Structures are given as structure tokens and as C-alpha cells.
Structure 1
Amino acid sequence: MKLCRYGDVGLEKPGIVDANNVLRDLSEMVEDITPETLPFVLTMIKEQDISRFPEVKGNHRLGTPIKSVSKFVAIGLNYLDHAHEADLPVPDEPVVFFKAPSCLNGPDDDIVIPPHSTKLDWEAELGIVIGREAKQVSVEDALGFVAGYSIVNDVSDRGFQFQSSQWDKAKSCDTFGPVGPYIVTPDEIGNPHELEIWLEVNGEKRQQSNTSQMIFSVAEIVSYVSHYMTLKPGDLIATGTPAGVSLGMKPAPVWLKAGDRIRIHIEKLGYQNQRVTEQTASC
């Protein structure tokens, strides 16, 4: 199943996309898709005939597929080719950092450049959504704690990032966390390590890879992170990006600027489409 939230910013309603790609409203079941309601929604949907929910007519903005999260965890350097292009050592264990939950952004909403930003970059990533509390779980059991998967654009400012290795600061500005369009449940995904992933900037392919190239698997990541913090329902984990980010471009990076358009696709998860815009206030 594909869970989503649709409607204007701040007024989103819970939705589900059926097998015929028809958006249906879940408001009679639940007020919104939140960390608190996600386990209930996942259980109830398995027991329901989705076709009984009302069809949503017309085109609607899609927001983040979950209203909020307690944690937005990210894994760095999880593709071998990306570690090489960044001229950084290949990690022996997952590199964990955080994006502020306040950076969450709809999959097609604008990415807003902070006024002091100088080196804005893109990162297409497979996102894991946690379905139930996970604490010190084994690799063998870890996939049982996954509610589904989503696309994440780990927007980053490299100027901020390499000011004394300030990764969290570089990745947490408002709008730096587009997620969605859906939470796609594992039964629709199959093997999460057989998914094509690509990103375009202004129609030009910048990243093109497959999740089979990840250094640490989904199960390894969930298990590893759960040994250092309790993962709650709805928590997001971005699993790293393949080669092709601006930082690694030769002979010189081409940073994002106002007016640029980004398009991201991960097989079975849908598409994101963002426009880069300017702002005058600080992030």
C-alpha cells in the first residue's frame, strides 16, 4: 500500500493510493498520519477493503507522508562510489548524523536557499520509515520493524558542512528534508536492495545507481541505529546517497541556485519534483 497526506500546507488529510493508482481519503479512519497513529493505520489497512474509502477527485498537493517525526536519522557515505568522490575513507560501520525534524518538506515543495548559503547540494536517498518501537534489535529481526520506504532528498549546504565538520547544521535548514510522495509498505517493494535510483537537475541526470550498491543494508542500518537510540514509530532513516552529488563534480562543483529544478525517482516509490527558490530570512 501507499500511504500519503494530501492538501494544502497545514491542512493535509490522510490518504491511500490503491492498486489502480486512485487516491482515496482515510479521514473516516484517522484524523492524520502521525507517529502516534501510524501503527494503527498499518494494522487497520490490512483488514480493510481499500475500495470502500472515498475517491479523491482532481489533483492535489502531496505533503510529507507522515505529519512529524521524533527523529530524522541519516547515514553518511553508504555508497562506495560516493565515499570515493567525496575523497573520504570508506566507513567500517554506519556513519550516523541527524537532520532536524523541522526540515521536513513535501516531495514537490520548494527548496528555499538560506541567505547565507553558498554551496547547496542534492542527495537522492532511500528512506526507511519505522513502524514500531525498535530497541537493540538484531539484524535478523530488523526488517520486521520497518513500516515502509520513501524517497528522501538529503539537501545539504557543503559550506556549512565543512565548517569544522558541521554535518547536522548543514542538513537541517528549513525545507532541506523533502520526503515522499508516499510511505510504500514492504509488500509492494520486495527486496529494498534492487531499486533503481536517480536524480536530475534541470533535466540533466546527475545521479544514477541502484540500492544494491549500498555498503550497509537496510537491516544492518536499523539494527545498528537501534543499539544507540530507541527508534519510535514514524522515525525516518535516510540511508545514504550514491555518487553524482555536486560536491564530487569535476573539474568543479555546480551548486544549486534559485530557479533550478530537481527530479528524483526511486523504483516503486514514485517521484519528487522540487524548485529551488531564494529567501531573505535566516534558516
Structure 2
Amino acid sequence: MDHHDLSAEIDAASVRRLLTTASEADWSTITASARQLVVADPSVYPSVNDVALLPPVPDPQKILCLGLNSKDHCEEVGVPEPAIPWFFPKWPTSLAGHRATVHPAPAVTQLDWEGEIAVVIGSIAKCVPAERALEHVAGITILNDLSARNLIRGIETIAVTKAGDSQAPCGPALVTLDEVGDLADLRYRTLVNGIVKQDGGTTDYIFGIEEAIASISRVITLVPGDIISMGTLPGVGLCRSPQEFLNEGDLVEVDADGVGTLETTIGSPSAVPQLGPRAGESDPKVKAGSTAG
């Protein structure tokens, strides 16, 4: 693949197609072609500060989130560590991009932060053993699993609590594994208005990325562009004393070493339908999230 072929693949409507193309080639070839594309005519690409970034994958087929995957988070919630990975879904309409303003639904009165590391699938995976799971990963990004705590009524309400419109800000970029470093010791933190609320890393995971992919792929086919969010750290607002929740105007930053910083502003409650990040494609200032590495 040369950079002319690649240029036809990079646009907001075709990130999944790009990942599929990449899975059929070699990531070193893809990233080299991407660099050639930028060097060939850098004027084609605006500054990141001049555009609104969509999530790295604006329209994933699936978003699967691990619950209670941190030892210390289980302790603060007061529940035993799960014996097997368990997951809940979010929808494409749950996504929001880097520096997006999230407008919670009027029913959401206790919005909480949950900074997380997320994995983007790069090739079809079914019944994959853990030792081969990373072969199917395109890269790493960040997801903020915003949660409507006032809607919790037990496990049966998990989707209502977690999967509301724009309750999954994601970005700022997709970083390939060779750029991230040790996935078993990846540090990240969540800040609200500049104050650190969560600070830890993947060393606290109960189930690692490889185990999560192996567990899901036992029964679910993972395809390029699928997002797996790996669960949050201790320090959520629900478990603080007194409890803390997000308010209009708050700035939430999730910062991960080697990945970047995802910024989200909390806006006013809104009953206006939010159709997901792809709804903004017609705006020339909206671009797909970047791919690094």
C-alpha cells in the first residue's frame, strides 16, 4: 500500500475500513504510509487546535466495558472481586470526542467520572487464546465511562446508568502498541477542574487486556473498530465522603502516559436528541480522531 492508497482510507466515514485494511497488511507499512502522507503535503491538514476531534473510531460496531476490574475499586465499592470478567454495553450514540461538551439528559442528576484505558480491535477475533490476543489490537485510547449514579437500581439498570447519550467520551487518539509501552504497567489519572480524583494504573487490573479479549471472543466475534474499555480506578465520586458529582462547567481530564489527555466539558442538561459523533460529520471542522504510532 502506498500513501495514495492510504489517503483514500482516512476520513471520518471510513475509520473501520482503514482498520480492516491495516489488519490485512502490516502496521509498520500503514504507519509509514501515514507519515509519508503528512510529509507529502502537510498544508492539507489543519492544526489539531482548529478542529473538533471525533473519537478515534466514530462508529464502532460494539463498545464493551468491563465492570469492577480494579482491585482497589472493588474495595471502595464494597464488593468482592469478580471471578470472571463481566461486561456491559454502550452504544455508538454514547460516544463523544476529545474536547466535546457533554449535555446530560434531564433525568441524569448525579453524573460521575470513570477514567479508563480502552482497546480498539484491529482484526477479526473469535475464540482467541489470551497469548495471541494482542495480535488483534489496533491500539490504545482513553474512554471516560460517565455514569448516571442517580439511576442505579441494581445490575438490571446498568445500561440506563452507563449508556446514555454522550456518556462515553473517547480519544484523543489511537496509539499503536509499539508507542504505548508496557500495557501491564500503564499509568493514568482523572482530574476534575485540575484536581486529581483518580491516580493509578493497569497494575491494579483484575483481568488484563489479553484476558478480556479472550473472554469476550469465546462467544462474541470482535471486528475492526470495536472498543473494549478496561474498567476504572478507585476514586469515583460515588465513593467519596461526601459524595461528589459533576456539574455544568466542570472540566474532566483523563491523562494516560504515552496515550494523551482526553478532555470533556460538562454542559447544561438537554432533552435535544444527541445522535452520536457521526452526526457532526457535515461540519468541516469535525475530523476523525487521529492515529499515532
Task: Using structure 1 for the length normalisation, give the TM-score.
Answer: 0.85
Higher mean alpha-carbon deviation, 81-90 vs 231-240, is at 81-90
1:52, distance to aligned residue in structure 2 (A): 3.9
State whether residues 150 and 269 of structure 1, in contact with CA within 8 Å, keep that contact through their aligned partners in structure 2.
yes
RMSD: 1.8
- Secondary structure of the structure 1 residue equivalent to 2:228: strand
- 1:55-77 CA-to-partner distances (Å, cap 9, x unmatched) read 22432222111121110000000
Whether 1:39 aligns to 2:20 is yes
Whether 1:274 aligns to 2:264 is yes
Query: Which protein has greater RCO, CA pairs closer than 8 Å, 6+ apart?
Result: 2
1:47, distance to aligned residue in structure 2 (A): 5.2
In structure 2, give the amino acid aligned to 1:90.
E
Match of 1:231 in 2: 222
Structure 2: distance between partners of 1:158 and 1:110: 19
In structure 1, give the amino acid aligned to 2:60.
V
- Output aligned runs, 1:197-236, within 5 Å: 197-236=188-227
Structure 1: distance between partners of 2:258 and 2:32: 23
Match of 1:262 in 2: 252
Higher mean alpha-carbon deviation, 39-48 vs 273-282, is at 39-48
Structure 2: distance between partners of 1:235 and 1:47: 24
Gaps of 5+ in 1: 1-25
Residue in structure 2 matching 1:50, options 8, 23, 35 = 35
State whether residues 113 and 279 of structure 1, in contact with CA within 8 Å, keep that contact through their aligned partners in structure 2.
yes
1:102, distance to aligned residue in structure 2 (A): 1.2
Whether 1:253 aligns to 2:238 is no
Structure 2: distance between partners of 1:46 and 1:131: 14
Whether 1:64 aligns to 2:49 is no
1:163, distance to aligned residue in structure 2 (A): 5.2
1:206, distance to aligned residue in structure 2 (A): 0.3
- Output aligned runs, 1:80-95, within 5 Å: 80-95=71-86
Count how many residue pairs are aligned between Structure 1 and Structure 2: 257
1:84, distance to aligned residue in structure 2 (A): 1.0
In structure 2, give the amino acid aligned to 1:35.
R
1:36, distance to aligned residue in structure 2 (A): 2.7
1:89, distance to aligned residue in structure 2 (A): 1.7
Match of 1:107 in 2: 98
Structure 2: distance between partners of 1:253 and 1:87: 15
Higher mean alpha-carbon deviation, 48-57 vs 262-271, is at 48-57
Cα gap change, 1:165 to 1:36, in 2 (>3 Å): same
In structure 1, give the amino acid aligned to 2:67.
G
- 1:26-51 CA-to-partner distances (Å, cap 9, x unmatched) read 64444444323312146351452614
- Secondary structure of the structure 2 residue equivalent to 1:179: strand
Cα gap change, 1:282 to 1:170, in 2 (>3 Å): farther
Task: From the two aligned structures, give the one with the greater helix fraction.
Answer: 2
In structure 2, give the amino acid aligned to 1:38.
L
Structure 1: distance between partners of 2:270 and 2:160: 18
Structure 1: distance between partners of 2:210 and 2:152: 28
Structure 1: distance between partners of 2:226 and 2:182: 21
- Secondary structure of the structure 1 residue equivalent to 2:140: strand
State whether residues 100 and 168 of structure 1, in contact with CA within 8 Å, keep that contact through their aligned partners in structure 2.
no
Match of 2:288 in 1: none
In structure 2, give the amino acid aligned to 1:261.
L
In structure 1, give the amino acid aligned to 2:75.
H
Structure 1: distance between partners of 2:153 and 2:73: 16
Cα gap change, 1:168 to 1:48, in 2 (>3 Å): same
Among the aligned pairs, what percent are the same residue?
32
Structure 1: distance between partners of 2:233 and 2:139: 21
Residue in structure 1 matching 2:120, options 129, 133, 148 = 129
Structure 1: distance between partners of 2:8 and 2:15: 15
Structure 2: distance between partners of 1:109 and 1:210: 25
Structure 2: distance between partners of 1:272 and 1:46: 22
